[in-house]
Amino acid sequence: MADVIDLRECRELQTGPRLRQILGVLARHKFLGALLSKRRWPAPKEVRETVEELGLTFIKFGQVLAMRRDLLPDAYIDELELLHDQLPAMGFDEVRGTIESELGVPLAGLFSSFCETPLAAATIAQVHEATMPGGRHVAVKVQRPCLKEMIATDIAALTRLVALGERLFPRLRALDLRVVVSEFAKSLNRETDFRREARSIVLFRSALADVPDLWIQDVVAEYSSGAVLTLEFSPGERVDLYAKLHPEAVPRAINTLVRLMLQTIFEAGLFHADPHPGNVFVLPDGRLSLLDFGMTGELDEPMRESLALLLEAVVKCDARAATEAYLEMAPGSESVNRAALLVDVRAALYEIHSGDLADVSIGDAFESLLRAGSRNGVHNPGEFFLLTRAFVILEALICQLAPDLDYMDSFREEIARLTKQHFSPARIKDKTTRLVRELERLASDAPGDTRRILRRIGEGNLGQVQAPALEALGDRISGDLKRLTHSMALAALIVGGSMLEMVSLGGWRELVGATMIVAGLLGTLVLSLAALRRRLGRR
């Protein structure tokens, strides 16, 4: 079975020859002289050509750097975005060998027909059309042989090169390249593990099952492994080619693209990070077909909620709220200059809103935040870079399909639908139930834990403290915790009811919200009277 790239093992590989080769290419293209401040940096085009000469891993790394407009000038970013990852096709013997070694069965025993000419060939793998014995039409994605060993060697060389460069040229430390390389290695781990891609496809099919205009290939699990992925065949054509022949179908396709992006983000915590025209097809019946789930991102619930607050703040041009939501998405940041960050975010939002609102770009807004954060000490999470990249690519695709269409209407409609769903009674009930359950667990576990801790204190160096006093203290803490639990549960009722009232859903939902508020207030009154009675009793 295929292994994943382990950065720790990479460092143990013999990377000397490869490192010398890399340094030779950099010297020939005048990079080393630029680092020594003897001359200017090479032109953007020469930078791209250098990356292409260094090979597959560096092409992928250049594509990652193309996402980092907070690190490099726009001219270099624009050039790196032109990097091509097309490679010559593998020979059929290599394809056959990989499939048979991965699946353990001769190729003739797996497929009744197998087209030797690939449909597509890229850096990681190439795709072949085939037919299973039962007549099922499939596409077989086959990983290039020795790919992991080559990538591992290059990652090790790149890691050493960055460490050496930062030691010799301290000004490179401002680029935080070690973190970039580490995130890049993790990304390649994900992209070269077809088992992970298969799991992503299953999750996306489940999350988007109710989108009527979308179809996602199913995985043929028994014909798949870590280096071979067999999928249902997609008979469509690229969305950009389809749009030229059927311009009347473009608005429908754009609405579907927007809905699948936002729905997977906010409902399932998933997103396709590479929605370029080659990965979006249109079937003969007009449905969209989303391909290639090798590059996807995942967002946990706290990050999704912070993202929702961030989008709302960007739309409202609220710099303070945007800054707080942005920092919540990067909790590992230290030594952040919050005052300077707020100034930069305010300037970025002003620039975004100074033009026509129809021209507002979510991708551009996120890129501005990333730049502001990097300047002020924020360690941006890798998933936020992927998400920004996804929005930039999606908006570029939409503009390519329909330059004059105000696609922000689709974004606003879908965000309004998701917001209404987010504040639905069922959703609020579920979140309130989870909160109460956690509080009940805290109330039931804490007294026992408190007694055990106090008993150990009483049996230790503080033995002169009598155990009965400690037990009494534990009982008091237990009672306080129970009252705290009840108070927080009542507060959850009041907050949930208020949220229902504010959203103005109308009808019985407003009645439910009012009932929750009244119940919470009455419960709070009862708790207050009980507390007053206890206080008077002690007196």
- Where does CATH 3.30.200 sit in the chain? 88-143+193-233
Predicted structure pTM score: 0.67
Stronger pLDDT, 192 or 474, i.e. the higher one: 192
How much is the CA Rg of the chain, to the nearest whole Å? 29
- Identify the CA nearest to 5 among candidates 135, 227, 155, 220: 155
Within 10 Å of residue 203's Cβ, how many Cβ atoms? 17
Q: Which two tokens stand for residue 204?
A: 């996306």
**pLDDT per residue over 62-96, tens digit each?**
877 776 666 677 888 888 877 765 567 888 999 99
- Whether residue 31 is predicted with pLDDT greater than 80 in this model: the reply is no
CB 493 within 8 A of CB 465: no
Ranges 104-113, 194-203, 372-381, 452-461: which has the least confidence: 452-461
Residues 6+ apart with CB under 8 A from 272: 204, 260, 261, 264, 279, 290, 293, 295, 296, 390
CB 392 within 8 A of CB 363: yes
Q: Which two tokens stand for residue 46?
A: 């020469």
Decide if 274 is catalytic: yes
Question: Once rounded to an integer, what is the mean pLDDT over residues 18-36?
Answer: 74
Tell me which DSSP letter residue 264 carries: I
Cα separation of the two ends of the chain: 74
CB 495 within 8 A of CB 516: no
**Res. 9 pLDDT band, cuts 50 70 90:** very low
Strand partners, 290: 216, 280
**Res. 147 pLDDT band, cuts 50 70 90:** confident
**pLDDT per residue over 269-304, tens digit each?**
888 888 888 889 999 888 999 898 988 888 888 888
pLDDT recorded at residue 227: 92
Question: Once rounded to an integer, what is the mean pLDDT over residues 422-427?
Answer: 55
- Longest distance between any two alpha carbons in the chain, whole Å: 91
CB 327 within 8 A of CB 376: no
pLDDT recorded at residue 456: 58
**pLDDT per residue over 468-511, tens digit each?**
544 555 555 556 556 666 666 666 666 666 665 555 455 555 66
**Res. 534 pLDDT band, cuts 50 70 90:** low
> How crowded is the C-beta side of 238, counted as CA atoms within 13 Å?
12
CATH no., domain 88-143+193-233 = 3.30.200
**Res. 233 pLDDT band, cuts 50 70 90:** very high
Helices and strands (DSSP H and E) totals, the chain: 22, 11
Distance of CA 500 to CAs 74, 97, 168, 304, 418, Å?
Answer: 45, 60, 59, 20, 15
| DSSP conformation letters of 299-343 | --HHHHHHHHHHHHHHHHT-HHHHHHHHHHT-TT--S--HHHHHH
- The Cα–Cα gap between 474 and 477 comes to 5
pLDDT recorded at residue 222: 93
**Res. 454 pLDDT band, cuts 50 70 90:** low
- The Cα–Cα gap between 144 and 122 comes to 9
CB 95 within 8 A of CB 111: no
Catalytic residue chosen out of the listed positions 70, 154, 193, 274: 274
Q: Which two tokens stand for residue 438?
A: 């956690």
Positive or negative torsion for Cα 106, 112, 115, 120: negative
- Whether residue 111 is predicted with pLDDT greater than 90 in this model: the reply is yes
- Whether residue 397 is predicted with pLDDT greater than 60 in this model: the reply is yes
- Four-CA torsion 526, 528, 530, 533, nearest 10 degrees: -140
